[in-house]
Amino acid sequence: MYDFAYHRPATVAEAVKLLAADPEAKVISGGMSLIPVLKQRLARPSALIDLGAIPDLVGIAVSATTVTIRGRTTHAAVAASAEVKRAIPALAELASHIGDPQVRNRGTIGGSIAHHDPTADYPAAVLALGATVHTSRRRIAADDFFTGLFATALEPDEIVTAVEFPIPEKAAYVKFPNPASRYAMVGVFVAKGPMGVRVAVTGAGAHGVFRHAAMEEALAKSWSPEALEGITTPAADLNNDIHASREYRAHLVGVMAKRAVAKAG
């Protein structure tokens, strides 16, 4: 790892100020993706701005219609939250299967979506539930947030402060983990609720998480696994690597989607 300066601000405003003053600085939340990147010297930030001492960034609030998870809330906290389990059980379950227990004790929702790893689980939930991303300066709709591989709509000096999920009528997430790394080779989140019927696919897309229009249309007409019969996923824009060909991933999207609809009930 190359060395860097280290800042530990106590407020979001202070963190944004530090970030704005140094274009080469990076924000660190749980660090579960960033520290491995630094160890491999794939990045050389001038400074790390640690969100770890900002109490305002931690917590879960549930209203009659929404679940709001603050940015630095860990996966373990979401997975264990009785309120999240009650309001959006699919979200708590997704969080309970990210990485392993030690990763879940450190990794955070804000870090996960800001990083937008194409195999991450949370982006599928954010997109399928039609969540709103709250940042240090504005609110961004999920449809506008994920802009490409490891890319988001966040400005260089913008920090995710919370994610607000509308509570759906039905939702479920099913993934096919890579047998070795356990990252999602394909993960499909399906939801029916105030934002309509939405299907988001992670792990498969060459440009990161994406919505599946054909499946959404079919499920809007009939919410059942059978409704997805015969719907194919174009393989051209899917990942192709030693773990799975793009054609295999395209096939898995269909299988995971059907399982997710069956699970959502």
Partner 1 sequence: MPKVSLTVNGKPVTVEVENRTLLVEMLREQLRLTGTHVGCDTSQCGACVVHVNGASVKSCTILAVQCEGAEVLTIEGLASPDGTLHPMQEAFREYHALQCGFCTPGMVMSAIDLVQRNPQGLSDREIREGLEGNLCRCTGYHNIVRAIAAAQVVMHGKAKELPRAAE
Chain residues in the site for partner 1 (CB under 8 A): 1-6, 8, 28, 31-32, 35-36, 38-39, 48, 50, 52-53, 76, 80, 99-103, 105-106, 182
Nearer to partner 1, 99 or 168 (CB): 99
The enclosing H or E element of 188 equals strand 184-193
Minimum distance between the CB of residue 162 and partner 1, rounded to whole angstroms?
Answer: 22
State the Rg of the chain over Cα: 18
Residue 189 φ/ψ region, left for φ over 0, alpha for ψ in the -120 to 50 degree band, beta for the rest: beta
Nearer to partner 1, 100 or 242 (CB): 100
Nearer to partner 1, 35 or 227 (CB): 35
3-state secondary structure of 108: strand
How far is the C-alpha of 3 from the C-alpha of 41, rounded, in Å? 10
Cα 151 to Cα 99, 119, 263: the distances in Å are 21, 13, 31
How far is the C-alpha of 225 from the C-alpha of 33, rounded, in Å? 34
SS (H, E, C) 47-89: EEEEHHHCHHHCCEEECCCEEEEECCCEHHHHHHCHHHHHHCH
Minimum distance between the CB of residue 140 and partner 1, rounded to whole angstroms?
Answer: 28
How far is the C-alpha of 162 from the C-alpha of 160, rounded, in Å? 6
Nearer to partner 1, 7 or 134 (CB): 7
Minimum distance between the CB of residue 6 and partner 1, rounded to whole angstroms?
Answer: 4
Nearer to partner 1, 77 or 128 (CB): 77
Minimum distance between the CB of residue 4 and partner 1, rounded to whole angstroms?
Answer: 6
Minimum distance between the CB of residue 219 and partner 1, rounded to whole angstroms?
Answer: 30
Nearer to partner 1, 59 or 166 (CB): 59
Minimum distance between the CB of residue 24 and partner 1, rounded to whole angstroms?
Answer: 14
Contacts for 184 with CB less than 8 Å, ≥ 6 apart? 119, 120, 121, 175, 176, 177, 178, 202, 203
Minimum distance between the CB of residue 70 and partner 1, rounded to whole angstroms?
Answer: 18
In our burial notation (b when 16+ CB lie closer than 10 A, e otherwise), range 124-151 reads bbbbbbbbbbbbbeeebebeebbeeeee
Residue 109 near residue 69 (C-beta atoms within 8 A): yes
Nearer to partner 1, 41 or 221 (CB): 41
